[in-house]
Chain A
């Protein structure tokens, strides 16, 4: 069964839900940017976004009275949002890997064509 959100927690509940998605997206965006650009400082901001997401999940769990089975949802959200951007980045790298290989090969072969020995 469920216990509805209390009247005084109304705004907090909406805010926490929205914050989960927005901070989840910020974490994903910053994580991808950090990995693409190789910037550790951006990665730190990505984890800060994830910390905000974790706080929002906790706030939602409190205001929406997550108990029993609903606690599993809390864990699933925390794990899912942490893993999904990493998994997607790996998939992106894998699907584009051959493209990068070809570009590298053509970049290597180009100077030799322009300057024949």
Chain B
């Protein structure tokens, strides 16, 4: 019989197989985070697919794994895989950016195994125990009951502890080595990342107060701390990928932080429209939500400018492809799909319908999934020994191209299907029927809604196919490649053309 020590040894051995001698300590740890992130990404899609099937055939897995459980695992897996991706990305560049070894790599390793163990236990409890009586024992051990952050309280404490270890490693390593614009912004952001999560760790019997603080975690994590974290990751990636100059990417990182403070933080108001908060939130939420797309429009100008200056010369075509997908996905998902239903005059009808789900699918994919995937390709390149990932790959790069097509097509298809369902729901259930119980069922049984949910399932299958192909590609890309990568070195100070060097 397998004992715990043997199991622990086997797990360590499995992750140890991911190590490569030419990676630094932080990068070896990062690869483990990326591996778990990909597993959780597939889990997210699998449980999303089960939930989508249940919309079409409500009896499917009834009383075994209900829709509420599938949806919870689907969304929690998404949040956690993205966090794993972000943490891995930061560990990946930490030693290079600071110019020194990570101060607490051992603690980082322990935190990784603790977090991964906790995630496994939480998911098993979600699936096997599912619910409990409405008391403290349930809140501490089974499910906290708050949408999107259902993890029981013990896991909450674990997440904050792991975040603090992560913060210690980042701040301590930069303090020991050298600071830069990227590292300064990143360190301050991690304080907010760990701190804001605690806003969701207390409970109030007043549902308005409870929701008020809960949104601090949901909105401010996603539209403030994650945005800045992605900005830091993107800044570093662009230096490696297209040889962008440090001074330029850092300037734009500061601009992004300023724009985020200008619109993203008070954009929080659009979640306060209907939870019992005062009327002034209509104005604050409406005004700052209307400003939130401005940074995205600004991004369009910057992309055109950079495309003109750098002509898309890059060291890693799949990563660049995913960064371009990020630009479009973020603009459409967060900008267009967000603004269409954010003002209170229309949000009155759309709030909490499939319209929100449509916006959520495209914006999370466009803003965060794409960046993580781009970084996975950067990591895969170095993991294979910094091999060639330019335009003429051995198999013509069909796997990365098709996985990108399938994933983008799948997500866009789901988004449009959910948009149709959301429009119908807002119109019939909310506007015509006045949000009555009868109106809810009238909307759910309307042919447009039913057909839209069927199409959502079809495009969900397309998305899963794309993710499976992506996994295959990440495991095989660069294997057997003998050519070394073209490296466009970012330069500290102003110099002439980006230096073209051959990797050693």
Contact = CB atoms under 8 A, between A and B. Distances in A.
A55 interface: no
Instruction: Point out which of A25, A31, A64 has the most chain B C-beta atoms below 10 A from its C-beta.
Output: A25
Interface in A61-87: 64-65, 69-70, 72-73, 76-77, 80-81, 84-85, 87
Nearest to A29: B300
Q: Is chain A's binding surface mostly helix, strand, loop or mixed?
A: helix
A102 B301 contact: no
B496 A103 contact: yes
Contact of B341 (A2, A14, A72): A14
B297 A85 contact: yes
Interface in B258-301: 279, 282-283, 286-287, 290-291, 293-294, 296-298, 300-301
Contacts of B255: 91
A92 to B, nearest CB: 4
Given A17-B346, A102-B495, A24 B248 contact: no
B298 A84 contact: yes
Contacts of A13: 345-346
Contacts of B301: 28-29, 31-32, 84-85, 88-89, 92
A70 B286 CA distance: 9
Interface in A1-52: 1-5, 7, 10, 13-14, 17-18, 20-22, 24-25, 28-29, 31-33, 36
Contacts of A5: 345-346, 349
B273 to A, nearest CB: 9
Contacts of A7: 427, 431-432
B340 A18 contact: yes
Contacts of A85: 297-298, 300-301
Interface in B311-348: 331, 335-336, 339-346, 348
B176 interface: no
A92 B248 CA distance: 9
Contact of A92 (B302, B340, B423): B302
Interface string B224-257: 0000000000000000000001011001100100
A64 B343 CA distance: 9
Contact of A99 (B245, B252, B426, B431): B245
Given A10-B427, A13-B345, A28 B297 contact: yes
Given A14-B423, A18-B336, A95-B247, A25 B297 contact: yes
A25 B334 CA distance: 13
B496 to A, nearest CB: 4
B309 A3 contact: no
Given A2-B345, A5-B349, A95 B251 contact: yes
Instruction: Report, as a range, how many residues of chain A touch the other chain.
Output: 35 or more
Given A2-B282, A10-B427, A76 B290 contact: yes
Given A21-B339, A84-B294, A2 B344 contact: yes
Nearest to B345: A64
A96 B248 contact: yes
Given A5-B346, A73-B287, A17 B497 contact: no
Contacts of B496: 102-103, 105-106
A19 to B, nearest CB: 9
Contacts of A105: 496
B252 A95 contact: yes
Nearest to A31: B301
Contacts of B296: 21, 25
A37 to B, nearest CB: 8
Contacts of B4: none
B305 A92 contact: yes
Given A4-B348, A64-B343, A95-B248, A36 B308 contact: yes
A21 B286 contact: no
Given A21-B336, A64-B346, A95-B247, 9 more contacts: A10-B346, A17-B343, A24-B293, A29-B304, A32-B304, A33-B304, A81-B294, A88-B298, A96-B248
Interface of B: 245, 247-248, 251-252, 255, 279, 282-283, 286-287, 290-291, 293-294, 296-298, 300-302, 304-306, 308-309, 331, 335-336, 339-346, 348-349, 423, 426-427, 431-432, 494-497
6 contacts: A1-B282, A4-B345, A17-B342, A91-B255, A98-B494, A106-B496
